[in-house]
């Protein structure tokens, strides 16, 4: 059994967005359509209904999925989706890219106790990539404030966190010093080995996705701290670059890790599944 610990499968708009970004991949999709291992490969937006995505995932041995919220509205969609589908869990989170709009329009802390299938707060964190104070004002201050609110929410509800951190690890660890008890995963980690060590020392898991299959010199955590994720519909693993990602591809990420680590796919699946079950209590 495998678990996709991070995907965005609850909102068809996200898939439509991904589909328009994948125009260049049309040719590759046509080749994949004839792949006997995959049978019919999804080509159209109508292939990405919740039922179809989940059924392809189950066929590939992915039995649980966490669909991740990125804003208050988006998190509520994730919640509704999880309520409608077996084996799908959800997380409540406001992505750091939303910090400016939250600073402008405010945010009402939701009461989370009554929600079923809620397993984490995320994705939350800091993302300084491509931003400048000349163009984006006090984005750092706004993101840090929002991140602290999200950490508080996780602490109050005793939930683990799904962190999104990009080019902001120093501030990330500085803020976390005030929240020593929180647990979580640094999702889609693609930073230095040194920052990975800091995250591991802090007790966090590291989320590994398709990026590992196509980025050079990619740092991988030890298996005892590894979670598998797709970040679908984005970050499609090799050899499916140019197509839309979905939870079924956890199996391909697992196969890749198996090769790199020199362990069987069964062993990778077993350990990463145990890790996910332990962190998210699913």
- Which residues would be at the binding site for Zn ion (CB under 5 A)? 231
**Sole residue written with tokens 């998210």:** 280
CB of 231 to Zn ion, least distance (A): 5
**Sole residue written with tokens 């790199």:** 260
d(CA 113, CA 96): 24
Q: Is 63 helix (H, G, I), strand (E, B) or coil?
A: strand
Q: Smaller CB distance to Zn ion: residue 11 or 231? A: 231
- Token digits for 45? 């937006």
Q: Smaller CB distance to Zn ion: residue 32 or 213? A: 213
CB of 123 to Zn ion, least distance (A): 5
State the chain's maximal CA–CA distance in angstroms: 53
CB of 8 to Zn ion, least distance (A): 6
First-to-last CA distance in the chain? 13
Q: Smaller CB distance to Zn ion: residue 85 or 187? A: 187
Q: Smaller CB distance to Zn ion: residue 142 or 231? A: 231
Q: What is the dihedral of CA 236, 237, 238, 244, to 10 degrees?
A: -20
Q: Smaller CB distance to Zn ion: residue 18 or 60? A: 18
Q: Smaller CB distance to Zn ion: residue 142 or 229? A: 229
| Residue pair 246/56 in contact by the 8 Å Cβ criterion | yes
- Which of 224-238 are b and which e, b meaning 16 or more Cβ less than 10 Å from the residue's Cβ? ebbbbbbbbbbbbbe
CB of 6 to Zn ion, least distance (A): 6
Q: Smaller CB distance to Zn ion: residue 32 or 236? A: 236
- Token digits for 76? 């509520």
CB of 150 to Zn ion, least distance (A): 14
| Residue pair 43/33 in contact by the 8 Å Cβ criterion | yes
CB of 264 to Zn ion, least distance (A): 28
- State which residue has the least CB distance to Zn ion: 231
CB of 36 to Zn ion, least distance (A): 31
- Token digits for 167? 């080019």
Omega prior to 39 cis, within 30 of 0: no
Beta-ladder partners of 90: 67, 118
């Amino acid at each position: 059994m495998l678990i996709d610990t991070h995907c965005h499968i609850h909102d068809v708009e996200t898939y439509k967005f991904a589909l328009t970004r994948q125009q260049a991949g049309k040719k590759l999709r046509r080749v994949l359509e004839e792949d006997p291992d995959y049978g019919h490969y999804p080509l159209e937006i109508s292939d990405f209904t919740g039922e179809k995505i989940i059924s392809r995932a189950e066929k590939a041995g992915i039995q649980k999925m966490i669909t991740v919220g990125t804003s208050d509205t988006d998190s509520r969609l994730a919640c509704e989706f999880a309520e409608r589908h077996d084996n799908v869990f959800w997380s409540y989170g406001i992505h750091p890219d939303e910090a400016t709009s939250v600073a402008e329009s405010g945010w009402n802390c939701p009461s989370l106790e009554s929600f079923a299938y809620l397993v984490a707060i995320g994705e939350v964190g800091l993302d300084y990539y491509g931003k400048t104070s000349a163009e984006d004002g006090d984005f750092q201050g706004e993101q840090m404030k929002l991140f602290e609110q999200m950490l508080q929410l996780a602490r109050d509800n005793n939930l683990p966190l799904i962190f999104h951190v990009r080019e902001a690890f120093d501030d990330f660890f500085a803020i976390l010093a005030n929240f020593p008890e929180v647990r979580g995963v640094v999702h889609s980690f693609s930073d230095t080995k040194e920052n990975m060590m800091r995250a591991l020392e802090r007790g966090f898991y590291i989320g590994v996705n398709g990026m590992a299959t196509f980025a050079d010199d990619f740092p991988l955590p030890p298996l005892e701290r590894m979670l598998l994720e797709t970040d679908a519909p984005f970050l499609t693993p090799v050899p499916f670059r140019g197509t839309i990602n979905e939870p079924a591809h956890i199996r391909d990420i697992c196969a890749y890790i198996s090769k790199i680590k020199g362990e069987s796919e069964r062993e990778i699946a077993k350990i990463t599944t145990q890790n996910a079950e332990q962190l998210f209590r699913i």
